[in-house]
Structure 1
Amino acid sequence: MFKLTLENQAGDQLSFGHGSPFTISEIDGLYPPSATINTSQIAMMDGAKFNSSKVNMRTINIAFAIEYDAAKNRIEVFKVLKSKQWVQMNYSSQYRNVSIAGYIQSIEITYFAMKQIVTCAILCPSPYFKDAQEMIDSLVNITGAFHFPFSSTASPKQLIMGKIFNEIGMVVENDGDVDTGIIIVLYARQPVSNPKVYNYITQDYIGVQYNMLAGDHITIDTRQGEKSVTLLRNGVETNLFNYLMEGSTWLQLDANGSTFVHEVGTGDVSTLNLTIKHYNLYEGV
């Protein structure tokens, strides 16, 4: 059994399932998307030489019946599904809870059939299903140092409520099917300069040529179509894209997981908190 909803940008939804006035008859496009393979012919060589490959956009076709009252419920369909407009499909089953976003390419309705059927085509520029839950990993561990019952004659400033420890490296697991972009959040507890995060295995890195003050947050987004570098200081957000270090690459989380470490140019790296966020991506459901 599965549950499926379609949601537009305004938050309006069409739900399919028990008690819904809409009954799904067919869904096409839930399997892995097709790929384009680029090759070139070489004289005196059998076959061809592989050059590159890419995954194509996904098209999802949904056909569903409108139950009684057909005229009323058809209007509800039009409120949610609008040509060329953004829509998100949420899909959950026993094993996966995912979503995918796209744009309404076409809507067709069999007006004069005994039971009206709606056929909707959704074109998804990003072809992967995204896990509903964001995964968050941090290099900082806080160990509690305050226990009950206790007795102390120390002043409140001398009581240690907890201790913060920075780990040397962080293994980030990826339970999805493909490599995915990540969101890197750097939080400075003390001033540091030129923070850099790199993949421990490949030695690829991304860094920012900037002096961070205590309380600063730098967020680096490496997701496809979302690439950005921003600073949050005293509630004001500043674009730091032009401060990227030379040689930086937009780090990706490998399909089998990656190990990330960080360093700074000046200052104590143990005072720089590193958090990495990502969504698992799937080819099919």
Structure 2
Amino acid sequence: MIKKVVCQNSRGNQVTFSYEFPYFLESIEGATEVDGKVNTITSAYGVGSKYVSSSISERNIVITGSVKRDNITEKRQNLYKIFPKKDKGTLFYYEEDKAYKIEYYVESIEFAKSKVVDKFVISLICPSPYFTDLEESQVQMSNWIPSFEFPLEIPEETGIEFGYKNVNSLVTIENDTNIEIGMKIVFTASDDVENPKLVNITTQEELEIEKSMTAGDVITVTTYINNKNIILTSNGEDININNYLKFGTKFLQIHTGSNTFKATAKTGENALVTEIYYLINYEAV
């Protein structure tokens, strides 16, 4: 049973729809199903057809609810403020102990007057049809680990070790869904690094950036469906370096099942810290 739906617009304003007033949730359509399309061509032999491709359509979520008539103008204006047409927002969906989110654009909001309550219908278009977890998952490879704690004691003979390098450059990510997932890959250099690279050991796919890094440089790679970019952050400046993606390598995805990744570099691997951030996708909730 749905506990509540929360919508947050591009300015951070929120409204909650639940089984309580002021904004009583009567129904939400378009969240619990997925609309797909299979493309085929007629068989050359006149029997049946041949599969060509398939796609998932954008998602249309429709929220229907009601508000009591007291202070109705204020309540109605509040919804208009939170749902201006074409505004981008995020819908948070809570049910039992599960929570998901999805980004949307406002298509329309309509009201119907009555004596006791006013009805409202809000239509939201989600270009990416997948729901995701609320928070990103994160894994690190070859990262620095702090090794001191309080109270602090410093041996006279040996001094103190402030941290040590975790040299494990392999991580395994499990994807239990049927959806390939994009990710954010962050390469951080603590010294000179040449051509940072991430390899999917499971599939032998590679992503390599033909770029030299110096201490403090950060390269952020996003591999999402509608957001594939490579950004170098150096001396406080962000520079798009998509053209530095090595020919023959690709924007990696997290495939269904187990994916083992290895971070490496042409030179300077020991000075490279690699982090992967990702959100599990869901076809419906």
TM-score (normalizing by structure 2)? 0.91
Q: Unaligned regions of 5+ residues in structure 2, if any?
A: none
- Structure-2 residue corresponding to 1:212: 213
2:206 is matched by which residue type in structure 1? Y
Secondary structure of the 1:237 match is strand
Is the 1:30–1:284 contact (alpha carbons within 8 Å) kept by the matching residues of 2?
yes
Is the 1:193–1:266 contact (alpha carbons within 8 Å) kept by the matching residues of 2?
yes
CA distance in 2, matches of 1:114, 1:144: 62
Higher strand share: 2
CA distance in 1, matches of 2:19, 2:148: 51
1:153 is matched by which residue type in structure 2? E
- Structure-1 residue corresponding to 2:261: 260
- Structure-1 residue corresponding to 2:271: 271
Alignment match of 2:155 (pick from 152, 155, 170): 152
1:144 CA displacement: 5.2
Q: Say whether residues 1:181 and 2:182 are aligned partners.
A: yes
- Structure-2 residue corresponding to 1:41: 42
1:235 CA displacement: 1.4
- Structure-2 residue corresponding to 1:4: 5
Write out aligned runs for 1:75-154 (5 A): 75-112=77-114, 114-142=116-144, 145-146=147-148, 150=153, 152-154=155-157
1:143 CA displacement: 5.0
Write out aligned runs for 1:182-201 (5 A): 182-201=183-202
Residues 98-120 of structure 1: CA distance to partner in whole angstroms, max 9, x if unpaired?
A: 11111222222112454211011
CA distance in 1, matches of 2:63, 2:272: 48
- Structure-2 residue corresponding to 1:71: 73
Residues 156-186 of structure 1: CA distance to partner in whole angstroms, max 9, x if unpaired?
A: xx42222112213111233555221000000
Is the 1:165–1:270 contact (alpha carbons within 8 Å) kept by the matching residues of 2?
no
Cα root mean square deviation, aligned:
2.1
Answer with 108-117 or 199-208: which moved more. Answer: 108-117
Q: Unaligned regions of 5+ residues in structure 1, if any?
A: none
Q: For the structure 1 residues 152 and 239, does the alpha-carbon distance in structure 2 shift closer, same or farther, using more than 3 Å as the test?
A: same
Secondary structure of the 1:242 match is helix
Q: Identity over aligned residues, as a percent?
A: 28
- Structure-1 residue corresponding to 2:233: 232
1:150 CA displacement: 4.6
CA distance in 1, matches of 2:245, 2:154: 51
1:3 CA displacement: 1.9
2:77 is matched by which residue type in structure 1? I
Residues 79-108 of structure 1: CA distance to partner in whole angstroms, max 9, x if unpaired?
A: 111222223211122332211111222222
Q: For the structure 1 residues 114 and 206, does the alpha-carbon distance in structure 2 shift closer, same or farther, using more than 3 Å as the test?
A: same
- Structure-1 residue corresponding to 2:282: 282
Answer with 49-58 or 114-123: which moved more. Answer: 114-123
Is the 2:19–2:25 contact (alpha carbons within 8 Å) kept by the matching residues of 1?
no
TM-score (normalizing by structure 1)? 0.91
Answer with 115-124 or 83-92: which moved more. Answer: 83-92
